[in-house]
Chains A and B, each alone.
Chain A
Amino acid sequence: SYALTQPLSVSVALGQTAIITCGGNNIGGKLVHWYQRRPGQAPVLVIYNDANRPSGIPERFSGSNSGNTATLTISRVQVGDEADYFCHVWDSGTGVFGGGTQLTVL
């Protein structure tokens, strides 16, 4: 079965840029979505189809996908960005999530 690999944690200083990766075999050939889950809250879609932002998501959030790695980039990180981030693809009709990355803002 298809697997997605994310780092367990990423730390970034306030105001700097956070980069969260999602690895998978030829993931560049798939469409990748990213979700943010703040503590105690339901997940929120922040990037869809590799690089698109839903309405209401700040421009600070961006995504890219190529080869074996998809990337979520958060610019000018704020305290409110502290959360778990999950990548998601579909493989043969089955939804697959990455294990999640905990973003800590220092």
Chain B
Amino acid sequence: EVQLVQSGAEVKKPGESLILSCKASGYDFSSYWIGWVRQMPGKGLEWMGIIYPSDSDTRYSPSFQGQVNISADKSISTAYLQWTSLKASDTAIYYCVRRWEVSNSPPFDFWGQGTLVTVSS
């Protein structure tokens, strides 16, 4: 059974750093792109970026390029989303997602449970 299990909720202050994790199981982690999706309070979904764990090829949405860092450790089947300096506007739920290469415009077939990040002074 495919599972994406994310790290727990975080409460941070502006300017602090943060790393979220997403532990994958039930499939060959290296062979699927894995990414992150943001949902700000009361808003829709936003695609942030994606990484191919086999070679660490990483793509970012233009909206998030330079704002976050996406990485993966294939030895422990875990993907990460990292900030060096959080802002209040980073308050959101973050989902990790697996991309299913069923076509040249693939869907996300599995989602993590989401991690709530609250940034407040």
Q: How far is the CB of B58 from chain A (nearest CB, A)?
A: 12
Categorize the interface residue count of chain B. 20 to 34
Inside 8 A of A48's CB, which chain B residues have their CB? 100, 102-103, 107, 109
Interface of A is mostly: strand
Q: Tell me the residues in window 1-59 of chain B with beta carbons closer than 8 Å to chain A beta carbons.
A: 35, 37, 43-47, 50, 59
Interface of B is mostly: loop
Q: Is the Cβ of A42 less than 8 Å from the Cβ of B107?
A: no
Tell yes or no: A105 within 8 A of B by CB: no
Q: Is the Cβ of A100 less than 8 Å from the Cβ of B44?
A: yes
Inside 8 A of B113's CB, which chain A residues have their CB? 42
Bitwise interface map of A from 31 to 50 toward B, beta carbon under 8 Å scored 1, else 0: 10101000000111100110
Q: How far is the CB of A6 from chain B (nearest CB, A)?
A: 8
14 pairs across A/B with beta carbons < 8 Å? Answer: A31-B104, A31-B105, A43-B45, A45-B109, A49-B105, A54-B109, A86-B44, A88-B45, A88-B107, A90-B105, A90-B106, A94-B47, A97-B47, A100-B45
Chain A residues within CB distance 8 Å of chain B = 1, 30-31, 33, 35, 42-45, 48-49, 54, 86, 88-90, 93-100
Chain B residues within CB distance 8 Å of chain A = 35, 37, 43-47, 50, 59, 61-62, 95, 100, 102-109, 111-114
